[in-house]
Amino acid sequence: MDNSTGNPRKIGFSSHLQDDSERMAKTSLADKAYVRIKEWIIAFRLKPGTHLTIGQLAEALDISRTPVREALSRLEQEYLVVRTPMKGFAVKGMDLKEIADLFEVRTAIELLAVKQAARRIDAGTRRQLADSLASAARWIEKGETSRSLKLEQSFHMNILMASGNIPLAEIGRGILGRIWTIQTFNIITSDMLAAAHEEHMDVFRPLSAGDAKAAEASMRRHMKHTTQALMIRLKDRNDIIHNAITFDFKA
């Protein structure tokens, strides 16, 4: 009890509220900084290789250094920025070898996921996948690349979840997140989306029927075609690629 006022824990309770309020304010500012800096990177206002000075970013955003530092740490987890030897950050450039390796790992994960999903498919999962594909088709027809891309991406995430393999889904989510970050750089065309959608339908049909072998074969073809299309697009993007390599399309 507070002897001076007779109110139990009044000062301590007020202090906790103030601390929580300050933490929420900092979190909100960090979120805003994260969104704005990410927008600048994707729009190439901050180009690959650009050194990021926390003080300059804080000044540009009119906030303190702490939320900027938190935002950069989040962007580092998304592989959009990297730490530099001088304890700063820089915008990460894309390495074709690294991207090819990501797709190789992604393929292995998705092939296992679609087999396991086919073996335990239920009515709810069928409906969820079918609804997602139908919505994607409508947005593709309207030329809404951004919305249809998100729905096509959710198709893959839903298959990971439908596998029932939690560790696989967690690993897959991380790999897909890195690949989807790459796709935000105006890499995906409407033609690529339309082709991917048709291949998603090819995966869905045997998956829905519980045919694990056929679903795996369809997913393998889809992964090969997607990898080829993306790598071809990336090889022409000298603005974001800093290490050109020869990629073997044999799979």
Predicted pLDDT at 9: 46
* Per-residue pLDDT tens over the stretch 206-230: 999 999 999 999 999 999 999 999 8
Cα–Cα dist 129/143, whole Å: 21
Cα–Cα dist 109/90, whole Å: 30
State the CATH number of the domain containing residue 46: 1.10.10.10
User: Are 52 and 103 contained in the same domain?
Assistant: no
Which residue, among 157, 218, 226, has the nearest Cα to 189 in the 3D structure? 226
β-bridge partners, 83: 89
Sign for the pseudo-dihedral over CA of 131, 105, 172, 186: negative
The answer, yes or no, to whether residue 6 has pLDDT greater than 60, is no
The one-letter code for the residue type at 104 is E
1 within domain boundaries: no
User: Are 71 and 122 contained in the same domain?
Assistant: no
Tokens in use for 66? Answer: 């702490």
User: Are 118 and 187 contained in the same domain?
Assistant: yes
147 or 196, higher pLDDT? 196
Quick one: how far is CA 198 from the chain centroid? 22
User: Are 143 and 170 contained in the same domain?
Assistant: yes
Phi and psi (nearest 5°) for 89? -135, 160
Select from 42, 75, 91 the last residue of a domain: 91
Sign for the pseudo-dihedral over CA of 105, 243, 150, 36: positive
The tally of domains found in the chain comes to: 2
248 within domain boundaries: no
The CA-to-CA distance between both ends of the chain, in Å, stands at 73
* Per-residue pLDDT tens over the stretch 137-168: 999 999 888 888 888 889 999 999 999 999 99
Helix axes 54-61, 10-42, angle to 10 degrees: 100
Predicted pLDDT at 48: 82
User: Are 74 and 165 contained in the same domain?
Assistant: no
Domain range holding 27? 10-91
User: Are 142 and 29 contained in the same domain?
Assistant: no
DSSP at 131: H
User: Are 185 and 109 contained in the same domain?
Assistant: yes
